[in-house]
Amino acid sequence: MSKSIITVVGKDQVGIIAKVCTYLADNDVNILDISQTIVDGFFNMMMIADADGSAKEFRALSLELEELGKKMGCIIKLQREEIFNSMQRI
């Protein structure tokens, strides 16, 4: 299983998590963990997800999530987990 990290950054508002989760469920992306915090007044959420079961390519998921974020006025990123593992772990 290759894990992916989804981050959502923006102004806090009702339904952000619901919309992201709905999109992920519709595309067979399994959520393994969710955490969130407020940094400098901004809502920061991180999901660890498994996108291996999705019929869509990683690139397409990434573009669609980015688009979904724009509609909600926040920034959504889908990134492969390796970037964080390699930078943050010895």
Partner 1 sequence: MINLSEVIETNAMIEKENLDVRTITLGISLLDCMSDDIDAVCRKIYDRITEKAENLVRTGEDIEREYAIPIVNKRISVTPIGIVGSAAASSPEDFARIAAVLDKAAKEVGVNFLGGYSALPVKGMTDAERLLIQSIPMALSSTERICSSVALGSTKVGINMDAVALMGRVIKESAERTKDTDSSACTKLVVFCNAPDDNPFMAGAFHGVTETDAVINVGVSGPGVIKHAVDSVPDADFEELAETIKRTAFKVTRLGQLVAKEASRRMGIPFGIVDLSLAPTPAIGDSISDILEGMGLERTGAPGTTAALALLNDQVKKGGIMASSYVGGLSGAFIPVSEDQGMINAVNAGALTIEKLEAMTCICSVGLDMIAIPGDVPESTISGIIADEMAIGMVNQKTTAVRIIPVIGKDVGDTAYFGGLLGYAPIMAVSRFSSEKFIARGGRIPAPVHSFRN
Q: Which stretch binds partner 1 (CB under 8 A): 10-18, 19-27, 77-85?
A: 77-85
With beta carbons less than 8 A apart as the criterion, state whether 48 and 81 touch.
yes
- Check residue 59 for interaction with partner 1 (CB under 8 A): yes
* C-alpha span between 61 and 77 (Å, rounded): 10
- Check residue 46 for interaction with partner 1 (CB under 8 A): yes
- Check residue 48 for interaction with partner 1 (CB under 8 A): yes
3-state helix, strand, coil split of the chain in percent (to 5) is 35, 40, 25
Q: Which stretch binds partner 1 (CB under 8 A): 10-18, 20-28, 57-65?
A: 57-65
